[in-house]
Amino acid sequence: MISDRAIVQIKHHEGVRLRPYLCPAQLWTVGVGHVLYPEQAKLPVDERRRYPLSLADNRTFSQEEVDAILKADLRRFEMGVRRLCPGGLSQPRLDALASFAFNVGLGNLQRSQIRMRHNRGDFDGAADGFLAWTKAAGKVLPGLVKRRHDERLLYLSPNFSKVLPGTVR
């Protein structure tokens, strides 16, 4: 199970929004990066903006609702990480890989050097692989640099007392 400590770190990097909003990909999103309508992603980007927000979702979600949605979303990523990286999964490694997959998708984890190195038992190399994933649309984003450093530190951590969101830059 993804630890509470990792959930705090994911929330820190993703942000938490209690009201639905259109994310940069023009998808209705709420909470911690939860896409409300997966079918919306199948539309061309210019059509997504016109996708209606349902009356039931046009409200302020409670923190408890957002937390429950996040935990359900993270279960899928945990299962994916366990399937793709079956060996050598300490709690910190599971947490770091789930955070990474939550951000970039399980398909990108599957194709990544992080996974390949992890599965070969090259844990230091896998940790360094996080640092290659700092770009969006071809540009290095400071927020992704910070997140990848935090995920790397978490992955290498023998315990959580040494891992605090946003501490390693």
DSSP result, 117-154:
HHHTT-HHHHHHHGGG--EETTEE-HHHHHHHHHHHHH
Look up residue 136 and give its two tokens: 């969006």
Give a yes or no: residue 55 inside a domain. Answer: yes
Please tell me the pTM assigned to this model.
0.85
What stretches in the chain show pLDDT beneath 50? 161-169
Q: How many CB atoms lie within 10 A of CB 124?
A: 10
The per-residue pLDDT for 13 is 95
151 is catalytic: no
The per-residue pLDDT for 137 is 77
Bridge partners (DSSP) of residue 28 are 22
CA terminus-to-terminus distance, the chain = 27
pLDDT digits (tens, 9 = 90+) for 150-163: 999 999 998 654 44
Give a yes or no: residue 169 inside a domain. Answer: no
Distance CA 80, CA 101 (A): 9
Closest CA to 119 of 84, 90, 158: 84
Looking up residue 140, the CATH number of its domain turns out to be 1.10.530.40
Q: Which amino acid, residue 150?
A: D
What are the residues whose beta carbons fall under 8 Å from the beta carbon of 156, sequence distance 6 or more?
A: 92, 123, 124, 127
Number of domains in the chain: 1
Q: Domain range spanning residue 33? A: 4-160
Catalytic one of 14, 47, 78, 151: 14
Q: Is 69 helix (H, G, I), strand (E, B) or coil?
A: helix
Give a yes or no: residue 167 inside a domain. Answer: no
The per-residue pLDDT for 24 is 82
The answer to whether 94 and 2 are in contact (CB under 8 A) is: yes
